[in-house]
Structure 1
């Protein structure tokens, strides 16, 4: 019997029920907006039968408030299951329960708070191929993870740069042959409480995915950028900084968009830092048709 849990999943599981301890003795509780979907994967085989592993969201009293949908993919009798559940629930503290219907095991996730968090960052991440022990594609769908975390970009953490090609003649006359401007934004992940080590590890791992969106904007790491850890030995939580680039900054500002036409193409438009951001509407639900993925992400 074997049950494994990819580290790219946005939540963690613990065998014992520590809901009370986490809720009242630990400052950190993971935030999820009511419009989000919790998407995670698990792998199992051996004596664990197909469909035996299920997941649900439970409340303070461990009452089931939502049962996860699941997609099971069989690879050489090793089952890869993708769980998807909507956070459209009353505001409150919840946990995810992962269990065997045959009673072999039960795991509870970290505490999650469902509400409305407009100032937080929504990280959507996937890969174009199956890697990191995760299923990102099957014959019909591309699959995404989503993770919400406090953070943002300070005005003092924005730098304005350009790649210049300069020619200097023998007479020391200087010419600008070409110049491409770009903006580097240093993102901060975590609020004044900071992040636990398990969540910092997940953010580091997701930044290795080849398709990352933050609040609907496609971003990539700046060349050579690494996560910077902000913390102290006397405090268990940390903050994170990293320099990111928008994949396409653009040279024009949009003034008008036909939202109906955009939505028909699987796209939405929202203002991010006073700039129109094109985003895919489907990833928040955890999956998108391959054809739409190819047309919008590539």
Structure 2
């Protein structure tokens, strides 16, 4: 076994099984350490007249290695650990969506109850993966003197997934789909994909089936107000103002710092 996925005992592991309305579904949690198998109590949700969803949430499992069997079909093993060391080595991704129309074959809303899925992975934000950015607009007069009309700073963070041993390729596929959703939290902070960034994979060693994956993210909420409260008017994210007063032929626009806007004038002052 090259890789085993790890969860913390505080994580919530969602199970959703879709079946024909007439089909019976049974799910068992198999503890590989002590050789026991425990039936999982399932709730049901009717997706439509023909499809029934059986679901459960596993939580507060004991430290061990488990598999899940669904009607005799066996999952890959996964590990559950209560050690805080696991929290230091991994990040918890919580994800959901505004509707059930998503890239995933699952249900995010059961009636009015939103389902938030958990996925834990070996990952982190390296200091050299931070990139400061700015969205701004400037005015330059005829003397090539420049003035900042508005300026909004923001940040891009490069998320690195996989330790020195790497992770399977399907992590990249899963993360790419997760970043298509309306709710993505990484260790409690909301992130979104930066522009059209996609996960990029690098083999840890030649011919290995494990990879390190990187993708660029931005904070969903850009807190730029600082201690002083709201930004000054000249630094707002709106378009610059234009104040036109009794416009005449031959007049031109010039930026006035006093008015904090472009005004019409018959002469250019420098």
Where on the TM-score scale, by shorter chain, does this alignment land: which range? 0.7 to 0.9
CA contact (8 A) 1:68 1:85 kept: no
In structure 1, what is the Cα distance between the partners aligned to 2:77 and 2:225?
43
Alignment of 1:195-234 (within 5 A): 195-231=167-203, 233-234=206-207
In structure 1, what is the Cα distance between the partners aligned to 2:43 and 2:167?
29
Alignment of 1:1-298 (within 5 A): 26-45=1-20, 47-48=22-23, 52-60=24-32, 62-65=35-38, 67-86=40-59, 88-99=60-71, 106-115=72-81, 116=83, 117-119=86-88, 120-131=90-101, 132=103, 133-231=105-203, 233-251=206-224
| Cα distance change of structure 1 residues 45 and 66 upon mapping to structure 2, 3 Å threshold | closer
What is the CA distance between 1:69 and its match in structure 2?
4.3
What is the CA distance between 1:42 and its match in structure 2?
1.9
In structure 2, what is the Cα distance between the partners aligned to 1:250 and 1:92?
41
In structure 2, what is the Cα distance between the partners aligned to 1:194 and 1:155?
20
Larger CA deviation: 66-75 vs 119-128:
66-75
CA contact (8 A) 2:44 2:52 kept: no
TM-score when scaled to structure 2? 0.75
| Cα distance change of structure 1 residues 240 and 234 upon mapping to structure 2, 3 Å threshold | same
Secondary structure at 1:94's aligned position in 2? Answer: strand
Cα distance per residue 1:89-108 (max 9 Å; x no partner): 32221112222xxxxxx111
Match of 1:103 in 2: none
CA contact (8 A) 1:70 1:84 kept: no
Cα root mean square deviation, aligned: 2.0
| Cα distance change of structure 1 residues 253 and 193 upon mapping to structure 2, 3 Å threshold | farther
CA contact (8 A) 1:167 1:175 kept: yes
| Cα distance change of structure 1 residues 253 and 148 upon mapping to structure 2, 3 Å threshold | farther
In structure 2, what is the Cα distance between the partners aligned to 1:54 and 1:66?
8
User: Looking at both structures, which has the greater relative contact order when contacts are Cα pairs under 8 Å and sequence separation is at least 6?
Assistant: 1
What is the CA distance between 1:68 and its match in structure 2?
4.6
What is the CA distance between 1:65 and its match in structure 2?
4.6
What is the CA distance between 1:251 and its match in structure 2?
3.1
CA contact (8 A) 1:57 1:96 kept: yes
Cα distance per residue 1:182-232 (max 9 Å; x no partner): 111100111111111233322222121121111111110001211111115
Is there any run of 5+ residues in structure 1 with no aligned partner, and where? 1-25, 100-105, 255-298
In structure 2, what is the Cα distance between the partners aligned to 1:122 and 1:64?
27
| Cα distance change of structure 1 residues 253 and 107 upon mapping to structure 2, 3 Å threshold | farther
In structure 1, what is the Cα distance between the partners aligned to 2:190 and 2:77?
29
| Cα distance change of structure 1 residues 162 and 68 upon mapping to structure 2, 3 Å threshold | farther
